[in-house]
Structure 1
Amino acid sequence: MFGNYLIGLREGLEASLVVCILIAYLVKTDNKSRLTPVWTGVAIAVALSLAFGALLQFGSSTLTFQAQEILGGTLSILSVGLVTWMVFWMRRTARHLKSELQDKLDAALALGSGALVITALFAVGREGLETSLFIWTAVQASGDGLRPLVGALLGLATSVVLGWLFYKGTLRIDLAEFFRWTGAMLVLVAAGVLAYGIHDLQEGDILPGLRNVAFDISDTIPADSWYGTLLKGVFNFQPDPTVIQVIVWLLYLVPVMATFLAPARDRSSATASQPASQPSAE
């Protein structure tokens, strides 16, 4: 549940920050009359994200078991790729996100209301679709009923509250550091989702080695124990993974985590020590 809470918080906070930056900039530049197109774009993005999540859930339920495993495995790998790109992109652009969005908003203001709708739609929609896909694959990987979904919804709700506090200027944190460490946690969660996706493809007869188990510690960490459930909910832990799962997990986690945590070469120490500015309506 915590892993899915982290996904909802991390992904939802990005979308919340985008929205409050757009709204705060329009308010600051005396363009309150142009808020409606922005909110329209946000509403469309949210609706599309919910529809995409519903399509994944209900569409997959009509498939055969083998087709479900192939679909789940493929989407798990796709979602891990998208999330990996996202955490690296946000780590690189967190300090410049505000100015980049304001530049796009300036161009949209010059073009009219339709451009504002599209700007908000694309800015929020990308985050929403990524969130829907990753939450769906993480929930499928955990296989723990409604609790993973509840965790994700709580994370999204927390991100909305944090976004509102950012907008009001009552909450200030170093966003670069926040996204750095939550991103590292997401890389760990993504490694588990990737391993589960490989297992799905093995069960769908796309990959071999389903019976070739690397180790089995089910007696030490039973899957139905509270700590086994906790490890599975947070890290998608499996007590009896296949050899291919372990290999893929290591090949993903070790280089990606090392690269992500390595100091960025293009940043000076002075820049890295400065706190990220927060959007405010004042």
Structure 2
Amino acid sequence: MFANYLIGLREGLEAALIVGILIAYLVKIDRRDLLPRIWTGVGVAILASLTTGAALTFGPYGLSFQATEIIGGMLSLIAVGFVTWMIFWMGRTARDLSRNLRTGVDRAASGAGWGLVLLAFLSVGREGIETALFVWSTVGPRSTGTEAVTGVLLGIATAVVLEVLIYRGLITINLTAFFTWTGYGLIVVAAGVLVYGIGDLQEAGLLPGWGVTAFDVSAAIPPTSWYGTLLGGTVNFTPAPTWLQLGGWLAYVAVSIPLFARLTGRPTASPIPASAPLSGATS
């Protein structure tokens, strides 16, 4: 559940910040008449996200075991790719997020402002579809669908509350540090999803090495124990990985963490309070 809470919190806060900046800037330039365009784009984006989630949930029904494993494995790899891109994109652009969005608003607000619908849809829809895909891919033998949905909804709810408080100036969050530390956490989570995806493809026969485990710590960390469940729910821990799964996990972490550290530097460097983008948009 915690892994899904983390993705819901991060993606939800990112989407909420984007919507907040768009609204604040339209208010600042006295174009309140265009606010319905923003909410139309947000509504369409939410609908697209829910449709994606429903397709992922009910689409595999009636397929053979092999087909289900192939689809699950491929979607897990796609989810890892999307989330990795999101982590590095936010790490690179967080400092200029407000300025970039204001530039986009200026272009989209020309004429009747229908471009704002597309801007809001792309900004929020990307986060929603990534969330649906990633959360679906984390639902494994140690996590039920109910736990996954509950976790992500709690994360999104927390993000909405934080954004409301930020918008009203009641709290300040160092966004640079927030997106940096959650980025590191999501790299570990994504590595676990990669392990699941490799396992599905091995079980389907598309990748070799299924059944040949690198180690087995199931006796020391039973998957059904509270700590086994905790590790499975937080970092997608697999007690008996194959050699290919272990190699994939190590390679992903060994490459992603140094690159992310090089991109972001020290988490406390160049701190940007959460109120900065909004104050910049409204001043």
Distance 1:160 1:75 in 2: 28
Distance 2:268 2:173 in 1: 17
Q: State whether residues 13 and 162 of structure 1, in contact with CA within 8 Å, keep that contact through their aligned partners in structure 2.
A: yes
Question: Please, what TM-score do these two structures have when normalized by structure 2?
Answer: 0.94
Deviations 1:89-113 (A, max 9, x none): 1011101101100110011111323
- Counterpart position of 1:272: 270
Q: State whether residues 201 and 207 of structure 1, in contact with CA within 8 Å, keep that contact through their aligned partners in structure 2.
A: yes
Regions of 4+ moved over 4 Å? none
Mean CA deviation greater in 269-278 or 178-187: 269-278
Mean CA deviation greater in 157-166 or 13-22: 157-166
Unaligned ranges ≥5, structure 1: none
- Counterpart position of 2:32: 32
Q: What is the deviation of 1:188?
A: 0.4
Q: What is the deviation of 1:163?
A: 1.6
Deviations 1:59-98 (A, max 9, x none): 0123211111101110111110111111111011101101
- Counterpart position of 1:181: 181
The letter of the residue matching 1:114 is W
- Counterpart position of 1:150: 150
Distance 1:13 1:130 in 2: 14
Unaligned ranges ≥5, structure 2: none
Q: What is the deviation of 1:152?
A: 1.1
Q: State whether residues 223 and 239 of structure 1, in contact with CA within 8 Å, keep that contact through their aligned partners in structure 2.
A: yes
Deviations 1:111-130 (A, max 9, x none): 32321111111111111111
Aligned-residue CA RMSD (Å): 2.0
Map 1:10-21 onto structure 2 (within 5 A): 10-21=10-21
- Counterpart position of 1:251: 251
Q: What is the deviation of 1:25?
A: 0.8
Identity %: 51
- In structure 2, the CA distance between the partners of 1:122 and 1:215, relative to structure 1 (3 Å rule), is same
Map 1:192-211 onto structure 2 (within 5 A): 192-211=192-211
- Number of corresponding residues: 280
Distance 2:138 2:268 in 1: 38
Structure 1 residue 98 corresponds to structure 2 residue 87: no
Q: What is the deviation of 1:144?
A: 3.1
Question: Please, what TM-score do these two structures have when normalized by structure 1?
Answer: 0.94
Q: State whether residues 177 and 268 of structure 2, in contact with CA within 8 Å, keep that contact through their aligned partners in structure 1.
A: no
Distance 1:216 1:270 in 2: 39
Q: Secondary structure at the match of 2:63?
A: coil
Deviations 1:135-167 (A, max 9, x none): 111124744342122111100111111122222
The letter of the residue matching 2:117 is V
The letter of the residue matching 2:110 is A
- Counterpart position of 1:190: 190
- In structure 2, the CA distance between the partners of 1:13 and 1:82, relative to structure 1 (3 Å rule), is same
- Counterpart position of 2:228: 228
Map 1:55-94 onto structure 2 (within 5 A): 55-94=55-94
Q: What is the deviation of 1:211?
A: 1.1
